[in-house]
Each structure stands twice: as C-alpha cells, then as structure tokens.
C-alpha cells in the first residue's frame, strides 16, 4: 500500500501533481526520476525546482476527497488544504463528532438508568396492583358468603 505522493514547486509550494494512493499489494513505489519519465506535467519542468512529499497510506484521505485544492507549506512541509466555503476542516469535524459522541454516551447511560428506575417502579406498581386485586377478591368473596 502506497500513500498519496505530492509533487510541488520548491519556490511557491503550489502542487504540480498529486499521485493517488494505491491499496493494491502489488503497488510499486516509484522514484522521482521514474515519475519525471512517466508524467508529462513533471517532464516539462526542471527537476531541481520540484520536490515531493510521500504520505503514509490513508493519511488525509478524507481531506483529499473534500478539499478544493491543496498546497505545501514550505516552512513546515505540511499539506495545506483549501475546503469549500461551507465545509469545516475534517480535523475540526472529527473533534466535534468525538465530543458529541462522548455527550451521547453520557446521555445514553443516564437514559439507561432512568429506564431501569422506571422498570423497577413499574414492577413495584404491578406488585401493589396484584395485592390490591387480591384484597378486593377477598372482600368480594367474604361478602358473597
């Protein structure tokens, strides 16, 4: 399995080519030299002005699917994604979903406890009703005699 490979301009960080990740066990990693031969967009450039980042398989997969574009931060070497205006970055969405999940877990525990208390109260009511019915049946039986 091979992660995304991003070729970018060393001066600007602008992405020249993104090679998608490959999940096949037969996928073969290529060198910069091989990629310059295989891809015209790279062959048209001076290899000295181009660098690349090889990401681990699966890293930023969701970001690549959602983002409009991306570039490389030349200072940090990190990929910077530009998302549609209406989208929240995946990392923020993930954090919000994790927080919501924890809140739902707490709420779920509280509801289970309330349900158990309700079931216990219902059982108690059932016992009290059975006792009341038995007492009424006894009263009726004694009046008939």
High-pLDDT (> 90) share of the chain, %: 77
Cβ burial of 112 (10 Å; 0-12, 13-18, 19+) is: exposed
21-51 pLDDT, tens digit per residue, is 998 878 899 999 999 999 999 999 999 999 9
Q: How many Å apart are CA 108 and CA 111, to the nearest integer?
A: 5
84-139 pLDDT, tens digit per residue, is 876 677 788 889 999 999 999 999 999 999 999 999 999 999 999 999 998 898 88
Task: Tell me how far the alpha carbon of residue 27 is from its chain's centroid.
Answer: 26
pTM score: 0.59
Q: How many Å apart are CA 106 and CA 92, to the nearest integer?
A: 21
Considering only CA atoms, which of 22, 88, 90 is closest in space to residue 55?
22
Q: How many Å apart are CA 51 and CA 47, to the nearest integer?
A: 8
Largest separation between any pair of C-alpha atoms in the chain? 113
């Amino acid at each position: 399995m091979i992660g995304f490979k991003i070729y970018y301009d060393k001066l600007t960080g602008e992405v020249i080519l993104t090679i998608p990740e490959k999940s096949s066990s037969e996928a073969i990693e290529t060198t910069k030299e091989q990629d310059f031969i295989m891809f015209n967009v790279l062959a048209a450039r001076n290899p000295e002005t181009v660098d690349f980042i090889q990401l681990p398989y699966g890293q930023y997969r969701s970001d690549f699917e959602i983002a409009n574009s991306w570039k490389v931060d030349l200072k940090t070497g990190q990929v910077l994604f530009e998302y549609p205006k209406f989208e929240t970055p995946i990392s923020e969405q993930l954090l919000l979903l994790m927080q919501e999940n924890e809140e739902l877990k707490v709420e779920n525990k509280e509801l289970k406890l309330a349900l158990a208390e309700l079931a216990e109260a219902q059982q108690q009511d059932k016992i009290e009703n059975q006792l009341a019915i038995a007492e009424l049946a006894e009263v009726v039986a004694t009046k008939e005699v």
